[in-house]
Amino acid sequence: MLAPPAQGKYFPAQKGKIGFALLPDWVQIIRMTSTEIAAALPAHARTTFDGLPCPHLASGKVREIYDLGDALLLVASDRLSAFDVILPDGIPGKGIILTQMSLWWFAQTQGLIQNHLLPDQTGEFARRGLHDRDLQLRSMIVRKLKPLAIECVARGYLIGSGWSAYQKTGEVCGIKLPSGLRQADKLPAPIFTPTTKAPKGQHDEAINDAQGAAIIGAGLYELVKSTSLALYELGHARAREAGMILADTKFEFGTDANGSLYLIDEVLTPDSSRYWPADEYRVDCSPPSYDKQFVRDHLLAIKWDQKPPAPTLPTDVISRTQKKYLAALQNLLG
């Protein structure tokens, strides 16, 4: 049986060694193929979770957090947000897709950094009386950790807010980039562009290295920076094998009482990452993506003012968005 990564130890990526690792024996979960996951998606979006036998701690845009005493239950709902506003319509099964993709990526990355999953996921659900199949597929039982106070963003391509910043200053988060780059251009090397964690309803703010180090400490900052870039490179290489380009992504980290670092929350999902079909990639535009950009484009087209309440989504937008999320999962799992 494989042992979990050593506490707090960082394992550098080995060039050419990125593979198709299965979940190690010490992490027991419900293993499913992409076809089985697709068949398990509900007909209607599940956005609330009443009647669970554990106290509710907090709600995020997508996730609900429950207190299990010695652990936390993270439940990914089917809610969808755009422009920092939760939309009235969810995407059926989106939470299942996000959770199953995160579990797959936690397996791929466990040689780089330990993560927050408790080892025996299947047994944990049973022991705690959480038998609902849909709930299990969209949930993780995790360690109680202290989240870092910054969002850790890694970029390999010039797009989104990075492209906007570059057009104004030629820089992204204080990093000077070559002149003449175009929208969606691949960067000379991946860059680390962290942000603050804004209160609910407010926007995160981009910060530079000095600001990030001031928030969490210089040593820890350098560790999460190097780890984020290593995780991005692994994710980018694996995505290319699956016919996709990982343009950028956001990671969350937490520490335990001893200061050991863990990868937490979700990892390399369409909600936290920008994936493009490799065969449709081109510059001077925002390439098509496997995420909610399709929804953002719809909302921009109808000239919504990006303030609550958000408009309802047409049925075809909901269906096509679900298919985009599912396609990313199927590409990775095969």
Residues 49, 189 within the same domain? no
pLDDT digits (tens, 9 = 90+) for 34-70: 899 999 999 999 999 999 999 999 999 999 999 999 9
DSSP 160-221: HHHHHHHHHHSEETTEE--TT--TTPEEEEEEE--EE-PPTTS---B--HHHHHHHH-HHHH
3-state class (DSSP) for residue 319: helix
For residue 167, is pLDDT > 70? Answer: yes
Residues 125, 190 within the same domain? no
Residue type, 209: D
Residues 224, 327 within the same domain? yes
Residues 203, 295 within the same domain? yes
Residues 142, 69 within the same domain? yes
The pLDDT-based confidence of 291 (bands split at 50, 70, 90) is confident
Please tell me the least confidently modeled range out of 11-20, 186-195, 201-210, 321-330.
11-20
For residue 118, is pLDDT > 80? Answer: yes
Residues 155, 231 within the same domain? yes
Residues 212, 315 within the same domain? yes
**What pTM does this model have?**
0.89
Question: Residue 82: beta bridge partners?
Answer: 85
CA 67, 73, 76, 81 torsion-angle sign: positive
Rounded CA separation 8/260 (Å): 4
Residues 179, 325 within the same domain? yes
**CB burial string 71-95: b at 16+ within 10 A, e below:** bbbbbbbbbbebeebbbebbbbbbb
pLDDT at 292: 84
For residue 20, is pLDDT > 70? Answer: no
Q: What CATH number does residue 283 fall under?
A: 3.30.470.20
Q: Which of 126, 146, 166 is the last residue of a domain?
A: 146
Residues 177, 115 within the same domain? no
Residues 203, 98 within the same domain? no
181 within a domain of the structure (yes/no): yes
Angle at 292 between CA 290 and CA 150, to 5 degrees: 100
First CA to last CA across the chain, in angstroms? 26
Residues 197, 322 within the same domain? yes
CA 234 to chain centre: 14
Residues 41, 169 within the same domain? no
DSSP 262-305: EEES--S-TTTEEEEEGGG--SSS----SSTHHHHHHHHHTT--
Split into its structural domains, the chain has a count of 2
Q: Which of 111, 146, 181 is the last residue of a domain?
A: 146
CA 237 to chain centre: 17
